[in-house]
Amino acid sequence: MGVSAKQACRQILWLAYRDFLYERRISLCFVLALMAVLAPLLVLFGLKYGLIDTLAQRLVESPYTREIIGVGSGHFDTAWFQAMTARPDVAFVIPNTRRIAASFSSLQQLATGEQLQAVQMIPTGPGDPLLATVQPQPTQLEQVILSYPAAHKLNAKAGDRLEARITRRRNNQPESTALQLEVVAIAPEAALPDEAVFVLLDLLLATEDYRDGLAVARFNWPGTPMPESERVFARFRLYSKSIYDVASLRDALLQASIEVRTQAEQIELMQSLDRNLSRVFWLIAGIGITGFLASLAANLLANVDRKRRELSIARLLGFPTRSIILFPVIQATLIGTWGGIAAILVYFLVATLLNIGFASSLQKGELICYLVPVHFLIAFLATLLCALAASAWAGYRASCIEPAEGIRDV
Amino acid sequence: MIASSRLIFHIRDLTKKRTGAGASFELRVPELAIQAGDIVVLQGISGSGKSTLLDLLALALRPDRVAQFRFAPSNTISVDIDRLWRENNVDALAYLRGEHIGYILQTGGLLSFLTARENIALSCRLLGRRVEQSLEELAEPLGISSQLDKLPHQLSVGERQRVAIARALVHRPSVVLADEPTASVDPLTADTILHLFLGLVERFGVTAIIASHDWQRIAAAGLKLLQHRLEREGTVTRSLFWN
Q: What is the ipTM of this complex?
A: 0.90
Across the interface, whether the CB atoms of A316 and B111 are under 8 A apart is answered no
Q: Are residues A223 and A367 in the same domain?
A: no
Which of B60, B90, B127 lies nearest to residue A3, judging by beta carbons? B127
CA pair distance A242, A88, nearest whole angstrom: 11
Give a yes or no: residue B103 inside a domain: yes
Q: Are residues A223 and A287 in the same domain?
A: no
Q: Are residues A288 and A386 in the same domain?
A: yes
Choosing from A214, A242, A263, the residue where a domain stops is A263
CA pair distance A278, A275, nearest whole angstrom: 5
A48 CA to chain B: closest CA distance, Å? 44
Across the interface, whether the CB atoms of B111 and A310 are under 8 A apart is answered yes
CA pair distance B85, B69, nearest whole angstrom: 10
B184 CA to chain A: closest CA distance, Å? 13
Beta bridge partners of A169: A174
Give a yes or no: residue B146 inside a domain: yes
Interface test with B, best of A22, A316, A326, A399 (most B CBs within 10 A): A316
pLDDT of residue A81: 94
Q: Is the Cβ–Cβ distance between A41 and A198 less than 8 Å?
A: no
Q: Is the Cβ–Cβ distance between A249 and A65 less than 8 Å?
A: no
Q: Are residues A102 and A170 in the same domain?
A: yes
Q: Are residues A103 and A171 in the same domain?
A: yes
Residue B220 predicted with pLDDT over 80: no
- In terms of CA atoms, which chain A residue is nearest residue B125? A11
**pLDDT cut 70: percent of chain A above it:** 99
* pTM of the entire predicted model: 0.72
Task: Give every residue of chain A whose pLDDT is below 50, as ranges.
Answer: 1, 410
Q: Are residues A222 and A122 in the same domain?
A: yes
Across the interface, whether the CB atoms of A317 and B58 are under 8 A apart is answered no
Q: Is A9 an interface residue toward B (CB < 8 Å)? A: no
Query: In this predicted model, what pLDDT tens digit does every residue of A301-335 receive, in sequence order?
Result: 888 888 888 888 999 999 988 888 899 999 999 99
Domain count, chain B: 1
Q: Are residues A147 and A170 in the same domain?
A: yes
Which residues does chain A have within 8 Å of residue B105's beta carbon, measured at their own beta carbons?
A: 313, 407
Give a yes or no: residue B16 inside a domain: yes
B127 CA to chain A: closest CA distance, Å? 5
Spatial CA neighbour of B223 closest among B33, B35, B5, B39: B39
In angstroms, the Cα distances linking A378 to A44, A46, A202, A371, A381 are 15, 13, 56, 11, 5
Q: Is A167 an interface residue toward B (CB < 8 Å)? A: no
Which residues does chain B have within 8 Å of residue A319's beta carbon, measured at their own beta carbons?
A: 94, 98, 126
Which residues does chain B have within 8 Å of residue A303's beta carbon, measured at their own beta carbons?
A: none
For A78, list phi and psi in degrees, rounded to 5. Answer: -60, -40
Give the Cβ contact number of residue B45 at 10 Å.
10
pLDDT of residue B225: 84
CA pair distance A281, A40, nearest whole angstrom: 13
Domain count, chain A: 2
b/e B175-200 (16+ beta carbons within 10 angstroms → b): bbbbbbbbeebeeebbebbbebbbeb
List strands edge to edge, sheet with B7-19: B79-80, B68-71, B7-19, B24-35, B236-242, B227-233
Which residues does chain B have within 8 Å of residue A405's beta carbon, measured at their own beta carbons?
A: 61
Q: Is A377 an interface residue toward B (CB < 8 Å)? A: no
Q: Is B58 an interface residue toward A (CB < 8 Å)? A: yes
Q: Is A320 an interface residue toward B (CB < 8 Å)? A: yes
Q: Are residues A240 and A162 in the same domain?
A: yes
Residue B218 predicted with pLDDT over 80: no
pLDDT of residue B221: 57
Across the interface, whether the CB atoms of A3 and B103 are under 8 A apart is answered no
pLDDT of residue B210: 92
Which residues does chain B have within 8 Å of residue A317's beta carbon, measured at their own beta carbons?
A: 97-98, 122-123, 126
Which residues does chain A have within 8 Å of residue B151's beta carbon, measured at their own beta carbons?
A: 22
Across the interface, whether the CB atoms of B128 and A4 are under 8 A apart is answered yes
- In terms of CA atoms, which chain A residue is nearest residue B153? A22
Interface A-B, measured as beta-carbon pairs within 8 A, has a size of: 90
Across the interface, whether the CB atoms of B112 and A310 are under 8 A apart is answered yes
Q: Are residues A257 and A274 in the same domain?
A: no
Domain with B190, as residue range(s), is: 7-242
Query: In this predicted model, what pLDDT tens digit does every residue of B21-52 receive, in sequence order?
Result: 777 899 999 999 999 999 999 988 878 889 99
Query: In this predicted model, what pLDDT tens digit does every residue of A94-110 receive, in sequence order?
Result: 999 988 878 899 999 88
Across the interface, whether the CB atoms of A22 and B112 are under 8 A apart is answered yes
Q: Are residues A232 and A338 in the same domain?
A: no
Sign of CA dihedral B147, B148, B152, B157: positive
Q: Are residues A240 and A356 in the same domain?
A: no
Q: Is A400 an interface residue toward B (CB < 8 Å)? A: no
pLDDT of residue B215: 64
Query: In this predicted model, what pLDDT tens digit does every residue of B148-177 receive, in sequence order?
Result: 999 999 999 999 999 999 999 999 999 999
Mean pLDDT of chain B: 89
Which of A11, A321, A410 lies nearest to residue B91, judging by beta carbons? A321
The CATH number assigned to the domain holding B194 equals 3.40.50.300
CA pair distance A251, B52, nearest whole angstrom: 88
- Quickly state the pLDDT bin for B56 (edges 50, 70, 90): very high
Give the Cβ contact number of residue B228 at 10 Å.
18
Interface test with A, best of B46, B93, B113, B172 (most A CBs within 10 A): B113
Q: Are residues A246 and A312 in the same domain?
A: no
CA pair distance A187, A382, nearest whole angstrom: 46
Across the interface, whether the CB atoms of B123 and A317 are under 8 A apart is answered yes
Which residues does chain A have within 8 Å of residue B125's beta carbon, measured at their own beta carbons?
A: 7, 11
Q: Is B123 an interface residue toward A (CB < 8 Å)? A: yes
- In terms of CA atoms, which chain B residue is nearest residue A1? B127
**Burial group, residue A187, by CB count within 10 angstroms (0-12, 13-18, 19+):** buried
Domain with A247, as residue range(s), is: 66-263
The amino acid that residue A1 corresponds to is: M
Choosing from A211, A245, A263, the residue where a domain stops is A263
**Burial group, residue A312, by CB count within 10 angstroms (0-12, 13-18, 19+):** buried
A296 CA to chain B: closest CA distance, Å? 24
A408 CA to chain B: closest CA distance, Å? 9
- In terms of CA atoms, which chain B residue is nearest residue A308? B111
- Quickly state the pLDDT bin for B4 (edges 50, 70, 90): low
Q: Is A21 an interface residue toward B (CB < 8 Å)? A: yes
Choosing from A219, A246, A263, the residue where a domain stops is A263
Give a yes or no: residue B1 inside a domain: no
B94 CA to chain A: closest CA distance, Å? 4
Which of B90, B103, B113 lies nearest to residue A316, judging by beta carbons? B103
Helices B132-142, B157-169: axis angle to 10 degrees equals 140
**pLDDT cut 90: percent of chain B above it:** 59
- In terms of CA atoms, which chain A residue is nearest residue B51? A408
Across the interface, whether the CB atoms of B99 and A318 are under 8 A apart is answered yes
For A234, list phi and psi in degrees, rounded to 5. Answer: -80, -35
pLDDT of residue B2: 45
- Quickly state the pLDDT bin for B219 (edges 50, 70, 90): low
What integer is the mean pLDDT of B227-241?
88
* 3-class SS letters over chain B: CCCCCCEEEEEEEEEEEEECCCCEEEEEEEEEEEECCCEEEEECCCCCCHHHHHHHHCCCCCCCECCEEEECCCCCCCEEHHHHHHCCCHHHHHHHHHHHEEEEECCECCCCCCCHHHHHHHHHHHHCCCCHHHHHHHHHHHCCHHHCCCCHHHCCHHHHHHHHHHHHHCCCCCEEEEECCCCCCCHHHHHHHHHHHHHHHHHHCCEEEEEECCHHHCCCCCEEECEEEEEEECCEEEEEEEC
Which of A15, A319, A402 lies nearest to residue B61, judging by beta carbons? A402
If phi > 0 it is left, if psi is from -120 to 50 it is alpha, else beta; for residue B39 that is beta
Residue B1 predicted with pLDDT over 70: no
